[in-house]
Structure 1
């Protein structure tokens, strides 16, 4: 879930106050989902969107009041089917939003968002907890916390400790929701690790590797052009198994970003170069390719002839995996998974 941390921090670093909109609940034709956020600056320009249209216009109007009065509010917007049709919407909907006044000079709220940004950058799973009761926003009252598996950040409060307990009981399972504790309502937003492993090839090593990558909290996607190999019967723990027509034009089928880990283990290495040449054009955090040193050298020479350079090739972890003298598919899978963890945890991805 992208929640604009970088933009929030940039504004706070400039000591610029703004309104932060969060969708708490929705129904009907309201366009965006729970947890969607939008920043509204003092000049009423926006960063992000809660879907445009009448709902967004009403939210901006409310944010103007929030900015002028330096307050925070929870508001329900209801649009009947009749009202919706009058402005060209197919059907009506309901939207419950939190509009917070974020004080650019406020040290407590700045510290919370800077910590959230830091945790997100480090790939640490956490929950952002906001008290949204109507009496929550008085001056000096704490109303926002961060809860990780082992720590919490924010001011001490008895009620929120009960919230932390509920969160940690099902830390990796919870979705966005609200919870009532001691007659106070809290909005719970998970910011869980979105790192994704893409395994190209559905052979024996891939099968063992997919089990381990899920075990260590990577979203795991397997791709192959053979339906008899690429199926959920063989990859029971994978999040997704995709049968592709070929290993060409992979960007049409998946989105590789800086949170992506690419593992190239196609059958008999037949399509390794094909996949690698495409992955080098992405900003994947990790690209690993299996194979002997001789095979890797040949692949690299071919890519150099095609116009890639040594800096491009230096991004590739090959031979793949940490050197533990692995031989069996299970051992090779362990060595690859260990290398993924090493890359995940190392500062600035230093080799």
Structure 2
């Protein structure tokens, strides 16, 4: 799925204005989380989702008013279990929505989202702070600030600096908040760019990868089809260990996106091929497969026979890792994690 901030910048680059819907608060069993965003274009088509059904229909309806007067709207949306059932929805729940007009002619607004894009591509954690003006007004670029752990973007403002000091005290534990400060309302949105390494296979090399990577800013998820290997006793410091029935349909068990790093270290050629074929259908940032050149040749030829293209296989780092003539599991793990860091940083540094 495309990153919503990338899509915002794409529209601004094309000189398109739009309405941006953000979930401020959620209660009950509403399907999407606080901070989820959806774009509504002039033709009332949408990019992203805030949960479908009545929530999106209401947001689209309200956007016509926002396109007319450019004033933001905060709306409470309620869907009881009875109402959900009548509409064929999977769940009920309540949402508080912010709908704001985003104008490509507002140079300050464009600058805000360019800086958001830059920080996301760099992999930094940051927070967006938005001042919510009085009712009937529009939210402008000068009403937004960005605070990362090392930088600040936006106009100098004493009240906002007070918010930023509190954010920086415990940055990674900042949560979405709609708050009051001296009779003004502010929205604080953390954007934590922790990226996920999916280690597929739970053997000795996987253990060493987890040990090497644990001190870096990655979440680590280990997956295997063997319970005796995929367990917390063997992988104490990772975010999650998943013992799955088989490597078929592995995407049912993990969520792979553009912040995902796939490390394929299963126990055999057939399993590697099965996993790699599925991962090539995702937009993972990194896909690496362990093994010799002869093993790679077998896997690649099998996938080409199944209809994959040479261009697909060019995405794969195999043999995996930076070439340091590694031999032991520890050395192999270091070479693999070094390559993950290289890929994480090279896009921002302009190297491919």
What is the TM-score with the length of structure 1 in the denominator? 0.82
1:336 matched residue in structure 2: 336
Quick one: distance in 2 between partners of 1:139 and 1:252? 40
2:319 matched residue in structure 1: 319
**Length, aligned pairs only:** 351
2:161 matched residue in structure 1: 161
SS in 2 for 1:215: coil
Q: Report whether the alignment pairs 1:95 with 2:117.
A: no
Moved more, 296-305 or 23-32: 296-305
Quick one: distance in 2 between partners of 1:167 and 1:294? 52
2:271 matched residue in structure 1: 271
Cα deviation for residue 227 of structure 1 reads: 0.7
Quick one: distance in 1 between partners of 2:168 and 2:4? 25
Moved more, 99-108 or 298-307: 298-307
1:12 matched residue in structure 2: 12
Cα deviation for residue 244 of structure 1 reads: 2.2
In the TM superposition, what whole-angstrom CA distance separates every residue of 1:126-157 from its partner, at most 9, and x where no partner exists? 22221235379578783111122211211111
Moved more, 81-90 or 212-221: 81-90
Query: Could you tell me whether the CA contact under 8 Å between 2:177 and 2:187 is conserved in 1?
Result: yes
**Alignment RMSD, CA only?**
3.6
Quick one: distance in 2 between partners of 1:15 and 1:299? 45
Matched ranges for 1:38-77 at <5 A: 38-77=38-77
Cα deviation for residue 107 of structure 1 reads: 0.8
Q: 1:232 to 1:7 in 2, by over 3 A?
A: same
Q: 1:48 to 1:247 in 2, by over 3 A?
A: closer
Quick one: distance in 1 between partners of 2:326 and 2:139? 60
SS in 2 for 1:142: helix
Matched ranges for 1:1-351 at <5 A: 4-28=4-28, 30-77=30-77, 93-132=93-132, 134=134, 137=137, 142-193=142-193, 195-267=195-267, 271-297=271-297, 299-300=299-300, 311-347=311-347
Larger radius of gyration: 1
Cα deviation for residue 20 of structure 1 reads: 1.9
SS in 1 for 2:185: strand
Cα deviation for residue 30 of structure 1 reads: 4.5
Structure 1, unaligned runs of 5 or more:
none
What is the TM-score with the length of structure 2 in the denominator? 0.82
Query: Could you tell me whether the CA contact under 8 Å between 1:74 and 1:132 is conserved in 2?
Result: no
